[in-house]
A and B are shown apart, each in its own frame.
Chain A
């Protein structure tokens, strides 16, 4: 299983069996910011943004005052799980990031995908990776 397959088949899959309903972008990055795999729609990001995200995992609440930036887009930080999941919201869309042992799993969604559906997809894959020791 290549990392790209994880992204294409498990993150960018059809949600609830409805064709065409899927996340807008997804990626799996290492903790150092190196891309393991990404969807073609995933935005260009820079090191500062990844550092911000990593710091927030280590010190929850770090990103909340300034907001979460990804690819130049600003997301408002909403309730996540300290040290494990960061969730951001922008209008009716948003992002969910879950940290595994060695990776960061990203999922971006837009309307009509709901935050709950994005969470399920990202966290399910991330939990699987954690179980596999990654």
Chain B
């Protein structure tokens, strides 16, 4: 049986069997702008969580990790007794709510991917940068003790994203929903001193978008999930600084009709969202733009590696697939203060499109094909002998 690769992000969980040149098999596309009642929910059976599948499409689908708590007893007809509590197992990239995570994984592995109890296989997880040791240990513990898997491996998302594009050295700019990581990797090992994690991500951009839209459309009632959908559809990056200034002066407006019938006008706000990554002052942060941050991080590495790192830059993460982001990044890179221009890597042709959204997962699938057959992973016997701390010794 193929190993399973799981990439649990703040917003979307990507899971599937390790078949690298296909997208993850468990990616369920979230239904279009939904009200609270239709949000995806996970069913665990023994706990109070239920899962409503969104409409499944052919091809890749992603499960949102945000879950909703619903009483198990279906006989409750009084709707007001239902708690509309959303549960976020993964916060800012790190797993925080372990019970919820366990339930989510139970669904993913047994229902979604078809594992049978008693016949669990190998699993590979991805970690964001600077994952605390305790989080990794807890994950290993849950996998071996609650799920009884036969083999475990964990690897950092930065390294995996590079494997997905066929490199072992380079830098990754991973802009996810809850966090942004800039990491430099040399020969498969992350250089922690020159890697940085920022606590801003798609979530903050969504909040910014909501704020801007509320300012220009004061009479429209928007929920965050509405804004999230709008952001994915409309947000884009201006071509460069000058173009952005022009857009701020005058921009064509588009009308969008929300599912509940309200009409909303979207104009320059869509460019503001894209600009925020290059000018964090828009988000009220005292920081340099993303290209400058990248150059600064790389400058802490010994100079013989600079060329190798900057010329192999990979953009990944959901937010990086914003329209116009890549072009703007390239343009800013040519203007940057470093002697060597950051240069983006083109993914190989056999990889699916939209690789940026789940490059860590694809890299995991590639790594799984190497690690598990060569028995470099943590086996049940190893875990029983040494305990959860074995993950630090064997997985890196």
Measured CB to CB, the residues of A under 8 A from B are 61, 64-67, 76, 78-79, 81, 87, 89, 91, 114-116, 119-120, 123-124
Contacts and interface: CB of A to CB of B under 8 A. Distances in A.
Contact of A120 (B133, B190, B374, B394): B394
Contact of B187 (A64, A76, A114, A123): A76
Contacts of A123: 393
Contact of A116 (B191, B192, B301, B394): B394
Contacts of A81: 133, 392
A78 B393 contact: no
B110 interface: no
Nearest to A64: B193
Main secondary structure of the interface of B (DSSP, over half): mixed
A79 B193 contact: no
Nearest to B395: A116
Contact of B192 (A76, A79, A120): A79
Contacts of B376: 114, 116
B232 to A, nearest CB: 34
Interface centre among B187, B190, B393, B395 (most CB of A within 10 A): B393
A79 B189 contact: yes
Contacts of A115: 396
Given A65-B302, A67-B302, A119 B190 contact: no
A59 B365 CA distance: 36
B186 interface: yes
Given A78-B189, A79-B189, A79-B190, A66 B396 contact: no
Given A76-B189, A79-B189, A89-B189, 8 more contacts: A61-B193, A64-B193, A76-B186, A78-B189, A79-B192, A120-B386, A120-B393, A123-B393
Nearest to A61: B193
B300 interface: yes
Contacts of B133: 81
B191 A64 contact: yes
Nearest to B301: A65
A89 B187 contact: yes
A58 to B, nearest CB: 16
B302 A79 contact: no
Interface string B314-339: 00000000000000000000000000
Interface in B161-208: 186-187, 189-193
A79 B195 CA distance: 12
B311 to A, nearest CB: 19
A114 B153 CA distance: 14
B302 A78 contact: no
Nearest first, the 7 A-B pairs at minimum CB distance are: A116-B394, A78-B189, A119-B393, A64-B193, A114-B376, A79-B396, A61-B193
Given A64-B193, A65-B302, A67-B302, A119 B187 contact: no
B202 to A, nearest CB: 27
B73 to A, nearest CB: 48
A116 B393 CA distance: 6
Contacts of A61: 193
Contacts of A119: 393-394
16 contacts: A65-B302, A76-B187, A76-B189, A79-B189, A87-B396, A114-B374, A116-B376, A116-B393, A116-B394, A116-B396, A119-B393, A119-B394, A120-B390, A120-B393, A123-B393, A124-B386
Contacts of A67: 302
Interface string B294-310: 00000011100000000
